[in-house]
Amino acid sequence: MKIGFDAKRAYNNSTGLGHYSRTLIMALADFYPENEWYLFTPAISAQFNISLHKNIQAITPVNFPDTVFSKKWRSHWVTEDLKKYGIDLYHGLSHQIPIGIKETGIPSVVTIHDLIFERYPEQHGSINVLLYRKKFKYACKNADAIIAISQQTKNDLLQFYNVPPHKIHVCYQSCDVSFMKKISENEKNKIKLKYNLPDKFFLSVGSITERKNLLTVCKAINNLKNELQFPVVVIGNGKKYKEQIKFYLKENNIEHLFIFINDADAAQSEGFKTSADFPAIYQSAIALIYPSVFEGFGLPILEALWSGLPAIISNTSCMPETGGDAALYINPYDDADLAKKMKAIAKNKSLSIEMQEKGYIHAQQFLPENCAATVMNVYKKLTA
């Protein structure tokens, strides 16, 4: 079977959508080598290396006007290439499918990660909300099947778009296999030196936006500053909200307790851009702190579980699905409770070990082969 993907974000996105795309494509190619996998992308980058997989090939626009109007090629004209290469099924990995694909007779699948812009439209801007809504609704109506990456996302599709339940398949995602490997002390020390990290620190991963709620972490550290002097290492970037965060840190004289890796020179390294250095950072931390208000899946939680890193996470949206019984839960706005739980993990070694053991067990359901199998089952139903 020849299966095509919208691979733009696999090659050109360093956050959640890119990780999802790369991880799923690699798992499918590894565990179902009898198929041919075609990656349709406007541009190729070093972000994604497929050189070791003979059953994967990247397809980019070749002729005018496709080469000049690559956005149009991706959203409309790519259907001609799907027919040209004899694609049996097409999967839009991030919320959209090409306009007119239904007329080609090629079955299509779309992955919907979340409908956060419907829940928090004020954080996205009115024009973006209208554009997202149009794109998402078209995909949900015209795709032959919808993959939701959590039960929460399925519930949102039912609530906001009234999608027929039989059309939605919950297929959890995995994370990069590098997080599943034990990093040596020597390698961890090299990475700490590279990023100028202390021996002990908490970890925060994610865009520095209002929804990700780093301010609660700042308040918790402010509560703890006379008891614990372990800093928070932040992987992620932002604009207005980041300025608000830095103002709070300065105002409360706790700037020294936050390390923003994205601001460091080392953030320009290949190891940072490709996330290759991240497993060592995870495995060097005390705990992941993730008080996000709402998520579609919460990938850093799974990365933490595989890394043997205790996680303190919000009790909202999909996060209990991802964290299971392996995490400690908080109300995302309760900085006092967050501080209490951070202190408990930092001071109680047996609690940390217990969470690591539970995390490893819970993470088994998100193995790449399990996640690939659920997606492959959707493909088989459409092509039977």
CA neighbours within 13 Å on the CB side: how many for 122? 2
Cβ proximity of 144 and 232 under 8 Å: no
CA dist 202 and 233 (Å) reads 6
Residue 113 has pLDDT above 90, yes or no: yes
Instruction: Tell me the per-residue pLDDT of 314-373, one tens digit each, with 9 for 90 and over.
Output: 999 999 999 999 999 999 999 999 999 999 999 999 999 999 999 999 999 999 999 999
**Cis peptide bond prior to 107, omega within 30° of 0:** no
The residue whose two tokens read 């080469």 is 67
CA distances from 221 to 8, 195, 199 (A): 38, 21, 17
Task: Calculate what percentage of the chain has a pLDDT beyond 90.
Answer: 93
In the chain, what are the domain boundaries? 2-174+367-383, 177-365
Cβ proximity of 317 and 152 under 8 Å: yes
CA dist 366 and 384 (Å) reads 26
Q: How many residues does the chain have?
A: 384
Q: Kindly state the greatest CA–CA separation across the chain.
A: 66
Q: What is the mean pLDDT of the segment spanning 264-290?
A: 95
| pLDDT value for 307 | 96
CA dist 277 and 269 (Å) reads 10
Residue 125 has pLDDT above 90, yes or no: no
Q: What is the mean pLDDT of the segment spanning 106-131?
A: 94
Phi-psi label, residue 308: left if phi above 0, alpha if psi -120 to 50, beta otherwise: left
DSSP strands (E only) in the chain: 2-6, 36-40, 56-59, 89-92, 108-112, 145-148, 168-170, 202-205, 232-235, 258-260, 288-290, 311-314, 328-330
Task: Calculate what percentage of the chain has a pLDDT beyond 70.
Answer: 100
Instruction: Tell me the per-residue pLDDT of 161-208, one tens digit each, with 9 for 90 and over.
Output: 999 999 999 999 999 899 999 999 999 999 999 999 999 999 999 999
pTM (whole model) above 0.95:
no
The residue whose two tokens read 């005018």 is 64
Residue 384 has pLDDT above 90, yes or no: no
| pLDDT value for 324 | 96
CATH of 177-365, one of 3.40.50.2000, 3.40.50.920, 1.10.730.10, 3.40.50.300: 3.40.50.2000
CA dist 12 and 58 (Å) reads 13
What's the mean per-residue pLDDT of the chain? 95
- Domain 2-174+367-383 and domain 177-365, same fold? Reply is yes
The amino acid sitting at 48 is: F
Q: What is the mean pLDDT of the segment spanning 27-56?
A: 94
Axis-axis angle for helices 151-161, 126-142 (nearest 10): 100
DSSP3 helix / strand / coil % (the chain, rounded to 5)? 50, 15, 35
Instruction: Tell me the per-residue pLDDT of 221-263, one tens digit each, with 9 for 90 and over.
Output: 999 999 988 999 999 999 999 999 999 999 999 999 999 999 9
| pLDDT value for 352 | 95
The amino acid sitting at 347 is: K
CA dist 362 and 127 (Å) reads 40
CATH of 2-174+367-383, one of 3.65.10.10, 3.30.300.30, 3.40.50.2000, 1.10.3720.10: 3.40.50.2000
3-state secondary structure (DSSP) of residue 326: helix
